Chains A and B, each alone.
Chain A
Amino acid sequence: MEQDEAARRAKSAGVTRLLEEHPQSWQFAIKSAAALVRALPTDLAPAEESAHTFHVEARPEDKR
């Protein structure tokens, strides 16, 4: 990855000090993250929801 792109991503993630002081850690992270993203399945259907679904709690008066 280009250094400019790495710097842009680090700034976006709020870890500019990490890039400045530990560039090897940041490069490792970027490579690892890219490998993980490549390994994620790409055949998710639009209706396949997240495992963490938002639930609205029912109030006592809403329960029969």
Chain B
Amino acid sequence: MTDLAWLSIADAAKLIESRKLSPVELTDALLARIDRLDPTWHAFIRVVHERARTQAKVAEAEISGGQYRGAMHGIPVGLKDIIDLAGYPTTCHSKIYVDHTAAASAVVTTRLEAAGAVIIGKLSTHEFAIGGPSFDLPWPPAVNPWGGRNFPGGSSSGSGVALATGMLPAALGTDTGGSVRNPASMCSIVGLKPTYGRVSRRGVFPLAFSLDHVGPMTRDVTDNALLLQILAGHDPLDPGSADVPVPDFSAELDKGAKGLRIGLVRHFYDGDETAHPEQIKAADGAADLLRELGADVREIRLAPLQEYSVCNRVILASEAFSIHRRHFAERPGDYGALARERLAIGAALSAADYVDALRVRARLVAQTRAAMDGFDAILTVSSMDPPPPIDDAEACARVYPRQARQPFNVTGLPAIAIPAGFTPDGLPLSIQIVGHAWQEARVYRIARAYEQATGWYKRHPPGLE
């Protein structure tokens, strides 16, 4: 039997469907691994052992009875702990919500359970998806196993770490300024921010309504498409949800990159910002490789990265403060220092600043759409730097904002971060592929072509293989 810790969703599904692998065996193996490894890596806030075993037994009975539900049936999944699981606390990794029990499950949780997935537990995050990495909270921050004890990115930090350590094959994250793609980049896994409105956010604690996305996190692109297939769909009770058809996200996976037109946004990482030399080499190398695979890759220009960044940050801070202002007025000391500082920015902005940022957003959306006209997708970096040591607060603060993810929260376009190699010191590098709205299948196609050609996704952190 393949090592269960590193089994992909697709491979596990084949084994489960053919009854060569029991969901109970898979769940028990991962629970045992979590119990052994998590005291070191802190990916979890809470593991729901008995609930997971019960769900796995139900899945096993259903499959034995001929009621196989599809690729996620019997597959263990973790939820970032701002996503509701009925009857359990949604702590948001914060003292403020330490006893906040969810009355109902989030729509995404319900969709996973309807597909037969086994919920394993709630995963670490930056406090309220904004303040981290922090050491002044009720739980320690998740730690990235690549390169020792490094920063795993955030805010979906536990999701990234659980995947990178082989504790889970699938997890959900959320992305408001890059929080699915940042841990994907830092932990050498795959994270997609879908098109805004593709996945319901109902039952997910908000950070900033107009920028929030729920996204699938996996170890390879094929699995990511399988997971998105379960999550996607219109929710009339989520004001941001779009009533658009849900296509087969795996339909184009094996079509390769030949004939596709890809715009390389090089000025984001070698102009507007200057990325780490190894990261520049990885992104330029990805462009060359996609050319070799038959894509037409040409450099294009978008608005300066800083324009997207400031637009994202003003909107995020303003909307987030509106959500937190009551707790902020009454219990500011119960927030960790980083969340307190970052949330307070919204209190210091004016209504006119917020509206100006929204007007800039409309302009950036139009400019981006025009620049992408005639192209199937964009290629650029995700993070500018490999992960720094998590104990080095100064390095984390420096690296955190050096990224090219915010443009695609501002524009709502689907964007995936995938592994793109390692520095000579063994630290993860990544690239980002961005598509037109609702074109996640095309994004997956390009990502899969690159992934297959390079095989970076097959590597696991030293000592955890």
Residues of A in contact with B (beta carbons under 8 Å apart): 9-10, 13-18, 21-22, 25-26, 28-30, 32-34, 36-37, 39-41, 44, 48-52
Contacts and interface: CB of A to CB of B under 8 A. Distances in A.
Given A33-B348, A40-B353, A41-B307, A51 B361 contact: yes
A14 B344 CA distance: 11
Contact of B349 (A15, A22, A33): A33
Contact of A40 (B321, B356, B365): B356
B60 to A, nearest CB: 47
Q: Which 3 A-B pairs have the closest CB atoms?
A: A29-B344, A33-B348, A13-B347
B353 A37 contact: yes
Contacts of A17: 329-330, 332
Given A14-B325, A17-B332, A33-B348, 17 more contacts: A15-B328, A15-B329, A15-B344, A17-B330, A18-B332, A18-B344, A18-B347, A25-B337, A25-B341, A36-B349, A39-B306, A40-B311, A41-B307, A50-B358, A50-B359, A50-B361, A52-B210
Interface of B: 210, 306-307, 310-311, 313-314, 317, 321, 325, 328-330, 332-333, 337, 340-341, 344-345, 347-349, 353, 355-363, 365
Contacts of A41: 307, 360, 363
A29 B338 CA distance: 11
A13 to B, nearest CB: 4
Contact of A14 (B314, B329, B356, B357): B329
A9 B348 contact: yes
Contacts of B306: 39
A18 B335 CA distance: 11
Contacts of B345: 29, 32-33, 36
A34 B314 CA distance: 11
B317 A18 contact: no
Contact of A28 (B314, B332, B344, B359): B344
A48 B330 contact: no
Contact of A51 (B307, B325, B330, B362): B362
Contacts of B359: 44, 48-51
B365 A51 contact: yes
B366 to A, nearest CB: 10
Nearest to B210: A52
Given A29-B348, A33-B349, A52-B358, A18 B325 contact: no
Contacts of B353: 33, 36-37, 40
Contact of A22 (B210, B310, B340, B347): B340
B321 to A, nearest CB: 8
A22 B337 CA distance: 9
